[in-house]
Chain A
Amino acid sequence: MPRFLSAKPDAGLIPLPWNLPLEEWPPEHLVALPRGISRHVVRFIRVGDEVYAAKEVIEHLAIREYRLLHDLNRLGTPSVEPAAVIRSRVDRDGNPLDPVLVTRHLQFALPYRSLFTQGVRQNTVNRLVDAMVVLLVRLHLVGFLWGDVSLSNTLFRRDASEFAAHLVDAETGEFHEKLTEGQREHDLQIARVNLFGEFCDLEAGGLLDAALDPTTLVEAIENRYRELWQELTGAEWFDDSEMHRIERRVRRLNALGFDVAELDITTDMEGSSVRIQPKVVDPGHHSRRLLKLTGLDTEENQARRLLNDLDTFRARTGQQGLDEAIVAHEWLTQHFEPVVTAVPEDLRGKREAAQIFHEVLEYRWYRSEEAGHEIPLAEAAQGYVNEVLSSLPDEELNADPVLPGGRELANPYDPSQGFAEDVEEMPLDPWEEAAASEEPAPIGHLDIDALRAKHRRGKDDE
């Protein structure tokens, strides 16, 4: 009988066919969502209204990753939520099957294989690169060594005009008190190799926009990482007449979406020069404030946009003197919610509510520019729904990926298998035959007689 390890169990997972290897699961349980490549068998499974990602992996790795993801969630680091580990699986003949790690599918997620395809704008690429860098920096700030930084292990979500990246695979990750420079460099080195490989793979499959160059992309990621890390953690010296630079640094960090929890300020012996260095920075400067004021849980840039609108609302309604929380409540009920409820039920799977609000504000800005006067929000919302949203693809579940040139995946549930037409007859492999004919010794048993015999043979050969 399979055993479930779960903090928040979903009863819908229990009756699934755990006695079958994931590769053999019937299509009625599966959803073909685009995703990265994986060395394990991974499938998206549908349980009622929920979609989960299921990964078959050996037991100690499954449990370890479940716990790591749990810790990442607890620390508020953008990562998928672990749902369960299913252990003690056996097939119909009683043979053991590897456990399955189940994570909740991130709604409105956009996997990289559908983002860098033909027609992608350089600007979009830069924003994806930035999102990846912010994720890596955030993981490093909490002492998490990823160990397998790659696009395949990342999902992107829209975040106002930017993207936010989320970690989806923590198998090789490790938590440390604080990462050393060597550890961060190691992750960067892995990122360089993996991302270069992934971009080359997209290129080889005709899935990368011809204007994009893997080498340049990888260099951009490394440079942006170093810039951001320096900004968030680097020390800065200045003259004691320039004390405003402390405030300026804090504001710069806020603008990047980080709060400064601890700032180390020291002066030299004469007190004429000052050194500042952020010691603890917390991401989520804007999203935390928005959540506190309105209860809306959004990505960071969405929060920034919504807060800007809230500030504008406050100024326009002449409520600067009033308590911010009261104004926020008014903004929520009179401004935000009417826009969201103006979206018909059947179009709500296309974008998240906060993203819709951001896009309506953008739409209103363009339309107002054209009209030469500001158009009312309700009118903008209606125009956006009719002219923009209705023609956008559904992003809640990014199913049925369209591949260029009408190509088809060999297995719609597994992009690691490549294209359907790439099936070739494989040459004979003497190594495989030798391995198959070898009678393996039982694992864990040290055959000392065989070792002595090998040693003697080695001596004879000399």
Chain B
Amino acid sequence: MATVTFRDATRVYPGADHPAVDALNLEIEDGEFMVLVGPSGCGKSTSLRMLAGLEEVTSGSILIGDEDVTEMPPKERDVAMVFQNYALYPHMSVGENMGFALKMQNVPKAEREARVREAAELLGLEDFIDRKPKQLSGGQRQRVAMGRAIVRQPEVFLMDEPLSNLDAKLRVATRTQIAALQTRLGVTTVYVTHDQVEAMTMGDRVAVLREGVLQQVDSPLALYDTPRNIFVAGFFGSPSMNLLRGTVAEDGVHIGRWTVPVARTVLDRAPNESTLTIGIRPEAFGIASGDEGMNMEIALVEELGSDAYLHGRPAGVTGDDIVVARVTTRRPPRIGEKVHLQVDPADIHVFSDATGERIS
């Protein structure tokens, strides 16, 4: 087991005008499940490949444990890519399917069998070791594939969108299994995905990348509750955070006719800005009993069990800004009705319009 360290790690593709990964600094702890997430082209897969040795590091360095692996060939790095190929061989038993790569590395038979048995037990496949794989379900096949990586006993597991070609049900089940397995094995794992749900449900910590630049690395809840900038704020959450531009005034920030209560100390952090972006998660809204808060005419109501998603435009707002509020109510308002929505000031996120950074 080992830590993984990216130090100013940069990858510039020949002919590209900006780096695919730009001075990445990231410390992954021993045994940690680190997820790299971001939209297509953000540099998450490139970062993983730099760690695997599949992409050259243009500048900076990468360490596994205390060892600088920046120039080390891929096969000498003690890392295992999971699910690179999970075609199962029909004439070999489940155990042989898990352990054949050890045979190639001349690992003695007794040790091979012991490692396969250990992995099979971890994966709940001990009764399947001698069976042929053809009758295995999709989920069981996935577990055999995980077994192939586990028997190698690497320092680090690398997973690049391993669930992207699975159907929805199998994806959810495998997601849970991978996370549980990683906890039991305690092997440092770097997992790449574009899916915010995968990132939030699996990672001990999540590193958010955009256009090659690390935006924030934090625990899933910290990313959700205190996003460092507008991009991170909008990336997580379904529906995503409402991001509304308002005008700075003495008493707070005005969005249409609503004055958002923002403390003077916060406003002072962006002294030269006349507008700021206010972020409010849909579930932070509640229906006010009086006429305080934000007045909104309901344009659409989605009922989901005891909750309702209310869509509408705040009174006095002329742009395209649509607000989504998730409220728990026995009688949701109807389309065309006007409601007042209140927010706990602690749930209001304030971002600088000039830099996009959080100032609250």
Contact indicator B134/A443 (Cβ below 8 Å): no
| Number of chain B residues close to chain A: CB under 8 A | 63
A150 CB contacts on chain B under 8 angstroms: 85, 87
Which residues of A does B touch, CB under 8 Å? 37-39, 57-58, 61, 98, 147-148, 150, 152, 172, 177-178, 180-183, 185-186, 189-190, 192-194, 196-198, 200-202, 204-205, 207, 214-215, 218, 410, 415-419, 422-424, 426-432, 435, 438, 440-441, 443-446, 448, 451-452, 455
Contact B134 A410 (CB under 8 A): yes
A438 touches B176 (CB 8 A): yes
Chain A residues with CB under 8 A of B346: none
Among A37, A444, A446, chain B packs the most CB atoms within 10 A around the CB of A446
Chain A residues near B177 (CB, 8 Å)?
431, 435
**A148 CB contacts on chain B under 8 angstroms:** 84-85
- Minimal Cβ-Cβ distance residue in B for A454: B201
Q: By the criterion CB–CB under 8 Å, are A427 and B134 in contact?
A: no
Cα A448 to Cα B75 with chains together (Å) = 40
Q: How far is the CA of A57 from the CA of B167 in the complex (A)?
A: 10
Task: Write out the residue numbers on chain A whose beta carbons fall within 8 Å of the beta carbon of B201.
Answer: 451
Q: Is the CB of A426 within 8 A of B89?
A: no
Contact B103 A177 (CB under 8 A): no
**In the assembled complex, which residues on chain A have CB atoms less than 8 Å from the CB atom of B136?**
426
- What are 24 pairs between A and B in contact, CB < 8 Å? A37-B89, A150-B87, A152-B87, A177-B14, A178-B14, A180-B54, A180-B55, A182-B49, A192-B104, A194-B85, A196-B104, A201-B92, A214-B104, A218-B104, A416-B88, A416-B134, A417-B90, A418-B134, A422-B132, A429-B127, A431-B123, A435-B176, A438-B176, A441-B197
- Which residues of chain B from 220 to 259 have a CB within 8 Å of any chain A CB? 220-221, 224, 236-238
> How far apart are the CA atoms of A180 and B177 in the complex, in Å?
34
Please indicate the chain A residues that have their CB under 8 angstroms from the CB of B14 in the complex: 177-178
The answer to whether A185 and B53 touch across the interface, beta carbons within 8 angstroms, is yes
Give the distance to chain B from A259, nearest Cβ to Cβ, in Å.
24
What chain A residues lie within 8 Å of B100 (beta carbons)? 196-197, 200
| CB-based nearest A residue for B177 | A431
Q: A418-B91, A435-B173 are in contact. Are A215 and B104 (CB under 8 A)?
A: yes
Residue among B85, B140, B236, B238 having the largest count of chain A Cβ atoms under 10 Å: B85
B139 within 8 Å of A (CB atoms): yes
B87 to chain A: closest CB distance in Å?
Answer: 5
For residue A178, which residues in chain B have a CB less than 8 angstroms away from its CB? 14
Residues of B within 8 A of A455 (CB): 221
Is B264 located at the chain interface by the 8 A CB criterion?
Answer: no
B interface residues, Cβ below 8 angstroms from A? 13-15, 49, 52-56, 73-75, 84-92, 96-97, 100-101, 103-104, 123-124, 127-128, 131-137, 139-141, 143, 165, 167-169, 171-173, 176-177, 195-197, 200-201, 220-221, 224, 236-238, 283
Provided the pairs A177-B14, A180-B56, A419-B91 are in contact, do residues A440 and B96 lie with their beta carbons within 8 angstroms?
Answer: no
Closest-by-CB residue of B relative to A148 is: B85
CA A218 to CA B105, docked complex, whole Å: 12
Which of A178, A190, A200, A415 has the most CB atoms of chain B within a 10 A radius of its CB? Answer: A200
Tell me the smallest distance from the CB of B122 to a CB of chain A, in Å: 11
Whether B96 lies near A204 (C-beta < 8 A) is yes
